[in-house]
Structure 1
Amino acid sequence: MTNSTATTSTPEISNSTLLYTTPEISNSTLLYPTTAGPDFINQILNEIPLPRWAIYAILVAGGLVILLILCLCIRCCCCKKKNDKKKKKMMKDQVELNGLAGASTTALVRSGGDDAQYGSTQKMRGKLLYSLEYNAAKTELMVGIKQAAELLAMDLGGLSDPYVKVYICPSKTKTCETKVHRNTLTPIFNEVFTFEVTKSVLAASEVVMQVFDFNRFMKHHIIGELRVDLSSMDWNHVIEEWQNLSEPLKCELEDLGEICVSLRYVPAGGRLTVVILEARNLRSMDIGGTSDPYVKVQLALDKRKWKKKKTSIKKKTLNPYYNESFTFDIPFDHIQRVDLVISVWDHDAVTRNDAMGKIFLGSNASGNQLHHWADMLANPRRPVGQWHALLTAAQVNATLVLKKKMSLSKMINKYH
């Protein structure tokens, strides 16, 4: 009896201990490490027959492609919503107009004191105060540019750098420019320009005053213009009045292109360095719609032809790039008596070379050309570059009448 009890209790404790504890510990220990963790990821990456950097690059590229697809989807959805909104608005407006189809015209007019003005959508370009006076004895027309007000802002700061260009149309043999006034919409010019015009020509002419915004390294944008018919003027007294600027006539604007020039003067050594940088938007002179432009640089002393040089020829282009430098020896006491004439020509191997445009700088110049020359003298030993709009040879020659070239011996005897 004692032996049977002992044999019965001992196996029960042993079996329960072995059956309960051993399998759970064994299962948890075997299953956990094999399902997750960095070793598992490294094992997968090691099985791929590519270097690690290539795998990472592929993953990054795939992520970027997915991101790009998502962005495109979002954009398409936004565009679709925007188009749906526009369609709904158009349908709504159409319904409203259909409802007014049977109404009288008086019902469509807005009530109240603020009537819509015709042309109110056009830009207000400002106004100009000018004067006109004709001297019949001298056959001279004097055009005074007094001041401007409420000009259109052309710069980012809400201002402009205005100047006025004046010429007589249709002859356009002479073009004059005022000084540039910086950062203002109400410049005061007080400049007078004289044009030689006979009474008969005056009756069939008009004076054109164009206000431009100055830019040193960009094209000068026109703010507005004023055209005054001279055929029915009463020249017994001086005419002076304000007029609003209007949009320029596109057919009248003769664009010959522009040229960029750098000037540098060293007073101590008496050296003037002229760099012809580039030109743009030149006129096509050849049948193929292009040109073969080169530039002449000529010095005049006391309005007498003195020295000249020229650049290389650039084939078949309307936007030539030169970056060619020319140095002239000019003593400091002669610099104020020098004019620099720059002309662009189209080279032709068979026929005569054609003039494409011209400018001149110096103390006898006006407007932007005089401004550039003054900047050079005010900043010795420093290059000063600027773009200039090309004029016709007739316009420049009417202002700067050059005499024949002086011989070297006469030049030495006169100035040394």
Structure 2
Amino acid sequence: SSRSRSSSEKTFFISSVMTEQVSSSIYPADSAEINVQGSIQFAVNYIQKLGELHIFVMHCRDLATADRKKHRSDPYVKCYLLPDTTKLGKRKTSVKKKTLNPTYSEILTFKVMMQVLKTQSLNVSVWHDSSFGRNRFLGDVNLNLLEWDFSNTQINEYVLKTRVNLSPFMFIIYVTYCGLIARTGRRTSTMESAEVQIWVKDCKNLPLVRGLVIDPFVKCTLRPDTSRRSRQRTRVVTRTANPMFNHTMVYDGLRPEDLREVCIEITVWDHGRLDNHYIGGLRLGLGTGESYGVEVSWMDSTTDEADLWQRMLRSDGEWVEDVLPLRMLMMPKSISK
């Protein structure tokens, strides 16, 4: 079962900060980093009559070698309009085999209104296509479209950057997190129950995802249960990128063994009259990729998120704290409202 309540009392909290890092859905975890090098040539052109943004991807030069055993890279280019990192928001070129200097001459197209476009950031990344395992990150470029001169339709060359110092957005969310704060049960029974509390304090410097104002709120879900009973949320704080919530969310009735199979998903949203707009989130769990023996996409906690969860499991009722990055999460449409 679950419940939520407001909290005005002082207590421990953790500061979860996105320090110019970006989505793990854009940058999957990769244990073997590649030293990024080289450049990419592309042009940006907005076609007013069509309401389309065209990215003309021309050429890459002097890319890093991804497959060191075979001394080769099979690169392709991928584009997102951040903060949208869904599959529907992704565009990519063909793969060029066995080359560090690929030529594409391909146009990637986004159907988007100019007023929306100016609230977004263009992420252009280069990847090695791996036949086995994860694709390898070869570098990227980010353009803040609010400041972009759309009269510049020439092919420009950009130095590829590593995956730090990428995002133009800075997020801060304070969360109080406590695990196993209650262990109860009759003396004649071996059954124990656990309670998890998440205290959302406030957010700072949230991006304006749909114009000049933002009406943020925070949602929490205990996966794999995505029913309404599992979903909790704070109130909406209107017209501010620095909302104060002071709200505690509680999940109880869990068995200790359940805590190795579940995941606490915390997300930040901008409230809209017709639809809510996703901003970012994090997932607290073991990050094993499985839940109760079934492979699941949402058990994808980063190393730091999983480390916090593991420390909570070992805490024996004590509060744990850490600094964590807020990131983009891949979520089914059915639970994104």
TM-score (normalizing by structure 2): 0.41
Q: Which has the larger radius of gyration?
A: 1
More strand by share: 2
TM-score (normalizing by structure 1): 0.34
Larger RCO, structures 1/2 (Cα 8 Å, 6+ apart): 2
